[in-house]
Structure 1
Amino acid sequence: MAALKTVVTKVRPVDFIKAIEDEQKRKDSSTLLKLFKEVTGEKAQMWGEAIVGFGSYHYKSERSTQEGDWPLTGFSPRKQNLTVYIMNGFSEYGDLLKKLGKHKISGGSCIYINKLADIDLKVLATIIKKSVAVMKKKYHA
């Protein structure tokens, strides 16, 4: 089995964020760093080259032999948008997503946001908090 590429690194999330060239993404990422720390109570860690993750859980895929560790939640300042990872998906958050503001979601676990001014941070905080609680319960993290 191939080794997972997305693992915790020694890079400090603050240094990663300071190196973001786009000023708006850098500011928004700093805001998200504070928000995620407050909401999760977890230490921020870099996962791979571009994911700022909080907490972790161990998973075993039901469809393959793959298993590993992954952040409970996190975000990544991508070129096109900010990606927020809600690891348990969105089936429980329909009403909250309607109140979140301008965003897109993937079929899996990603919320795509152009800039934080487009959304309600209190609603995002609620989604993150609920998701982390579900993940901790499910994976005993």
Structure 2
Amino acid sequence: MAIVWVSGVIGRYIYLQIPRTIEGRELSLHELQDLKDQLDIELYNKYNIDFSSIKSTRFSLIKLQLLSNNISKNDFLKVKLLIRKQKRLLSRIKRLDKMKKLFKYWHVAHLPFALIMLIIMLIHIAVVLYFGYKWIF
């Protein structure tokens, strides 16, 4: 039972790494690229920031650049949030195929454990009923 539980926790972690819509449907690589492009456009149109040029720089340098352009504190926080979303999205795009493959392999390992546990539970219930266990309540 502990093996099934640990396997379930691992599977849940892998499942959460695969980006999904609000409805729970998996996002395709094309949809993720579209989201990334939308964020790029928003950063460029509103704040004149090209994300491809700031990938490798630290956020402290970006902060200095934005503050030198007299950007408001509120806009700075919005830009910071957009850049974090963009970086998170890029890392998910990079890991998407690996996580999908890993999730398939996880199913192969987890399913036999779960079925064995189910069979043991049914045998346990049958034995308890056969030997006349009575409810205390």
Question: In proportion to residue count, which structure has more strand?
Answer: 1
Normalising by the smaller structure, the TM-score range is under 0.3
- Structure-1-length-normalised TM-score: 0.26
- Which protein is bigger by CA-based radius of gyration? 2
Question: In proportion to residue count, which structure has more helix?
Answer: 2
- Structure-2-length-normalised TM-score: 0.26
